[in-house]
Structure 1
Amino acid sequence: MEPTEDQVYVIIFATIFLGGIMSTFVISMVFIHRQRQAQNRQKVDQIKSEHEMTLLNIENEIQQETLTHIGRELHDNIGQLLSLAKLNFGSIKPEKHAEGREILAQAIREVRGLSKQLNLDWVESISISEFIGQQLDRIEATGFCATTLQADFDLVDLPKESKLVLIRVIQESLNNAIKHALPDKILIRIEENGNRKQIRIKDDGKGFDSSQPSKGSGMTNLKMRMETIGGEFHLTSSVGIGTEITLTLPN
């Protein structure tokens, strides 16, 4: 039985209608896909911009920390060396002049060492173990507390951006221990946990209840900074026992 003329029209209309729906659906899906692509590009650009801004802030902070250190060294160390050299040169005894020349030579060596710190080239030339050792030596030199560094290996192949973040996070963690924990000892250990490399910073200071929400943004900032390089920041602390910070590096 052949379809009637009305049935033919219905079939044609239904075909056109379904074709229109399918076309609209396909166009809508393409439009949504392009919208999502644009949103993803915006998110990637935003993340990239935030990452670059974080690194820039860290560079500025490290430079400021370096300038502060250089200012202290010029005043407390080199200034005293020059004053001592002046006193020796003012003496009529020849042996004092020789001593003055040696002190002056030492001051010159100190100035040359400080000049190398005025830019961030030293970041690429120093390993994390060497940097930590320098920081701990400074703390011990003040007589504040005892320090220990235990390294199963050295972190020598880190990209500059990862090293910058680690340096600043380690600095801030040590500064927090000095300001708030008042420990007798600080221990830093570089080790491997499974296939992840970690830096553990532990003190035996006052500690605090780490289960309570933090009142400041310091720990949150350190956590975010580690995340910018694909790492992790974890803190545990107990009142009267001390604090341990674990920095897990990206694979």
Structure 2
Amino acid sequence: MLTENEKILMTVVGGILLVFFLVIVFIISIARYQKMITKDLLEKQFLKERYEHEMLQVKLETQEDTFQLIGKELHDNIGQLLSTSRLLLGLTERNLEQPPETLLNANITIGQAINELRSLSKAIDPEWLRQFNFYDNLQAEMARMNSGVDLIRAEFICNTNLGLVPDQQIVLFRIVQEAIQNAVKHATPEYINILINMREQNLVVNISDNGQGFDINRHGSGMGIRNMKHRTAMLGGSITWESVLGSGTTVSIIIPVVNNTICL
């Protein structure tokens, strides 16, 4: 026979075990519920991301089709109209003993317009973008500058292959193009030199000019410079400016190319 104290002790122990059991059941239930909530949130996030990805894909495909149509119209229609106009101007010139200077300038201007139109047509052609070649396009940019009326000598030296895929080459080209345009527009240089080397696992691009220079602390927040910084960050790289007032500017771009495919 159990004594009264033993019965009380057993009742207390049993109550404690029951409470302990209920606490464990409660904790397990909370954990399961939390797991279900997390799973539900993850599924919703996955569905949302998949939906956004599909919508983005649709937009990109629509944009690509639109660009392709615009490029075709520019090349086939507007380009042909300009070429015909230039041909007619040429015939008029030949029929005149001394063609007026305005007519000659008009012919030259239309020729420039045709070249710009061809460049624009290529720039929005998806197939051209997929095969973009940084070296060839920068060489064309240098040739255009050297043949211009601004009397700027431009030189481009590349001592390495670019370890960048076409999409990345387009971004790098836009950065370099922005640096060139900034120099031409604001610094009035006599020359612009571009040197590209590979240093260890980094692609190093230096754009130098002997123009007026500028104060990076005062003018370093312009849209052009912000775009260059943003695009360089997209490539996982860094960009710096060294400028001395009256002595020119050097823009240095460093881009890691460790795991990329060499395309040139």
TM range (shorter): 0.5 to 0.7
1:77-116 map, 5 Å:
83-89=89-95, 115=118
Structure 1 residue 153 and structure 2 residue 160: aligned?
yes
- Tell me, in whole angstroms, the C-alpha distance in 1 between the residues paired with 2:44 and 2:217: 40
1:178 positional shift: 0.8
Whichever residue aligns with residue 235 of structure 1, its letter is T
1:113 positional shift: 10
Whichever residue aligns with residue 167 of structure 1, its letter is F
1:148 positional shift: 1.3
- Flag the 1:125–1:32 CA change in 2: closer, same or farther, 3 A: closer
State the TM-score, normalizing by the size of structure 2. 0.62
Whichever residue aligns with residue 170 of structure 2, its letter is L
- Tell me, in whole angstroms, the C-alpha distance in 1 between the residues paired with 2:209 and 2:115: 34
| Counterpart among 210, 231, 240 of residue 235 in structure 1 | 240
SS of equivalent residue, structure 2 residue 231? helix
State the TM-score, normalizing by the size of structure 1. 0.64
> Residue by residue, what CA displacement relative to the aligned partner does 1:193-247 show, whole Å, maximum 9, x if unpaired?
211223222222222222457342222222222333x332412132323222233
| Counterpart among 140, 162, 165 of residue 134 in structure 1 | 140
- Flag the 1:39–1:195 CA change in 2: closer, same or farther, 3 A: same
- Flag the 1:166–1:85 CA change in 2: closer, same or farther, 3 A: farther
| Aligned match of 1:178 | 184
SS of equivalent residue, structure 1 residue 191? strand
Aligned residues: 217
1:184 positional shift: 1.7
| Aligned match of 2:121 | 118
> Residue by residue, what CA displacement relative to the aligned partner does 1:76-112 show, whole Å, maximum 9, x if unpaired?
x997776344332556xxxxxxxxxxxxxxx99x969
- Residues 192 and 208 in structure 2, CA contact (< 8 A), matched pair in contact too: yes
Structure showing greater radius of gyration is 2
Whichever residue aligns with residue 86 of structure 1, its letter is T
- Tell me, in whole angstroms, the C-alpha distance in 2 between the residues paired with 1:215 and 1:146: 28
Unaligned 5+ segments in structure 1 are 92-106
The percent identity for this pair of structures is 20
- Tell me, in whole angstroms, the C-alpha distance in 1 between the residues paired with 2:115 and 2:244: 44
1:1-251 map, 5 Å:
4-25=10-31, 27-28=33-34, 31-32=37-38, 35=41, 83-89=89-95, 115=118, 118-119=121-122, 120=125, 121-125=127-131, 127-144=133-150, 145-155=152-162, 158-212=164-218, 214-228=220-234, 230-240=235-245, 241-251=247-257
